[in-house]
Amino acid sequence: WIVEYWKTAVARLNAWRSAWSAAPSSSHH
């Protein structure tokens, strides 16, 4: 369990989630 990896994963997930949430619902895959 690496803290650095976890931090990076969380940060990336947050950014991806924010971008995905900002995308229009019609663009839902």
- Amino acid, single-letter form, for residue 23: A
**pLDDT tens, 1-29?**
699 999 999 999 999 999 888 776 655 55
pLDDT attached to residue 11: 97
Three-state SS sequence of the chain: CCHHHHHHHHHHHHHHHHHHHHCCHHHCC
Residue 19 tokens read as 């971008």
pLDDT attached to residue 20: 84
pLDDT attached to residue 22: 77
Nearest to 20 by CA among 4, 5, 12: 12
pLDDT attached to residue 27: 54
pLDDT attached to residue 21: 83
